Structure 1
Amino acid sequence: MLYLKTFTFNPFQQNSYLIYDDEGTAYLFDAGNSNASENEILRKFIENKKLNLKRFILTHAHIDHILGARFILDTYGLLPEMHEKEIFFIERMAQSGAMYGISVDQAPMPKTFIKEGDKITLGKYEFDCLFTPGHSPGSISFYNKENKLLISGDVLFYGSIGRSDLPMGDHETLIASIKNKLLVLDDDVKVYSGHGPATTIGFERLNNPFLV
């Protein structure tokens, strides 16, 4: 069985997702944990479930999704994996922190990059990497067909869409990504977003005011 645990972290209320199987193999998608208390919440869950955290994957590298990246490296020895077009945001992390008035531990640079069409294999489960830019230039989403599960980052939200007014964002590109890559999935695919509650593709296709 495939399990998903949501952690909502940091002042931006960012959703980080820990996905794991019956064998205890776990992958972390995004790391919003931003202080010692949040680090401990994540660490304790992994420890109590006796999980083996094997990969750390970013949907994109905006500051609220990478605040815990240094902790993940220091604690589990894992570097982030992401699309190479997101390097800019890791390089600018200190400036972003200053802009928002928050202290940051500099996220490490990845050694491994992920691109559209790559398969992310967790035990017997497979996630397809979908290139979904617009919110950021290298946003990627991850779809597991067997469990009808989509990790969308900040591309698609419950009743909303990601911002496109941040550096290197583009509204038309974002809408095209959603319509061409996400809305083609089945109605009952559950969408786990970077902020807010989960939703489904069918609900967003019918009700999202940005997509009509």
Structure 2
Amino acid sequence: MNINIAVFSFNGFQENTYILSDELSNCVIIDPGCYERHEQAELAEFIESNGLKPLALLSTHAHIDHILGNSFVKRTYDLDYYLHREDLTTLHSVVNYAHVYGFHGYEPSPEPTHFLNHGDKLVFGGIELDVFFTPGHAPGHVVFYNAENKFVINGDVLFNGSFGRVDLPGGDIEILKKSIHEIMFQLPEDTIVHCGHGPATTIGKEKRSNYILNF
């Protein structure tokens, strides 16, 4: 089934939030970074105007920029929340430093209702996603892959020409390199990589020119 991908750039980190929807108007929300009220309104208006039915809230990982809208999404749509168990500490730590980044009104994220594991196949209506564990940027980082539509929602593992930072708690360059070479670079080269920040790219392009190749 064809899957539509809508992307929104939210908060001061210009984080990419994704809404995936199928032909029956089912949708999932991935990494909602909507913090300001106008950002939350933009997300809700898109869902309402397109007649979408949210079925789940998914996180690639739990760094602050990717979960600022978790509470809003949970409160508005009462969705089950999916996160890898290894990122629970990351999730819980956000409340301790949100004010440092100026997010004084941060509402703590809800607790996960489901823990993701490598190899899981998630099915929400016509939306099918394979879960791959890709730590290195964050200890519980995962990506969501759809082979039929040739895309991966990859959070902060790969960027166009670059890769996720490893200087935050739980980051590790050697682990990230392993995730990229053993997971990401094993995907078909025509796979579109939808990143957590900046423009999309392809696996083929990154296998040839990504900065990670210098490490």
TM range (shorter): over 0.9
Q: Which runs of 5+ in 1 are unaligned?
A: none
Aligned residue identity for 2:96: Q
- Tell me whether 1:155 sits opposite 2:157 in the alignment: yes
What's the secondary structure of 2:186's corresponding residue?
Answer: coil
CA RMSD of aligned residues (A): 1.0
Partner Cα separation in structure 1 for residue 21 and residue 86 of structure 2: 27
What's the secondary structure of 1:128's corresponding residue?
Answer: strand
Partner Cα separation in structure 2 for residue 180 and residue 152 of structure 1: 14
What residue in structure 2 maps to residue 51 of structure 1? Answer: 52
> What is the CA distance between 1:101 and its match in structure 2?
2.5
Partner Cα separation in structure 1 for residue 49 and residue 163 of structure 2: 35
What residue in structure 1 maps to residue 138 of structure 2? Answer: 136
Task: Give the TM-score taking structure 1 as reference length.
Answer: 0.97
> What is the CA distance between 1:96 and its match in structure 2?
2.2
Aligned residue identity for 2:53: N
Partner Cα separation in structure 1 for residue 139 and residue 26 of structure 2: 30
Aligned residue identity for 1:108: P
What residue in structure 2 maps to residue 211 of structure 1? Answer: 213
What residue in structure 2 maps to residue 164 of structure 1? Answer: 166
Answer whether contact 1:142 1:152 (CA < 8 A) is retained: yes
Task: Give the TM-score taking structure 2 as reference length.
Answer: 0.96
> Deviations along 1:18-65, whole A, 9 cap, x unmatched?
000110000011110001100000000000000000000000000000
> What is the CA distance between 1:88 and its match in structure 2?
0.8
Partner Cα separation in structure 1 for residue 127 and residue 198 of structure 2: 25
What residue in structure 1 maps to residue 113 of structure 2? Answer: 111
What is the aligned length? 212
What's the secondary structure of 1:164's corresponding residue?
Answer: coil
Q: Within 5 A, what are the aligned runs for 1:59-74?
A: 59-74=60-75
Answer whether contact 2:17 2:66 (CA < 8 A) is retained: yes
> Deviations along 1:175-210, whole A, 9 cap, x unmatched?
100000010111100000100000000000111122
Aligned residue identity for 1:177: S
Q: Which runs of 5+ in 2 are unaligned?
A: none
Indicate the percent of aligned positions where both proteins have the same amino acid: 42
Partner Cα separation in structure 2 for residue 90 and residue 192 of structure 1: 22
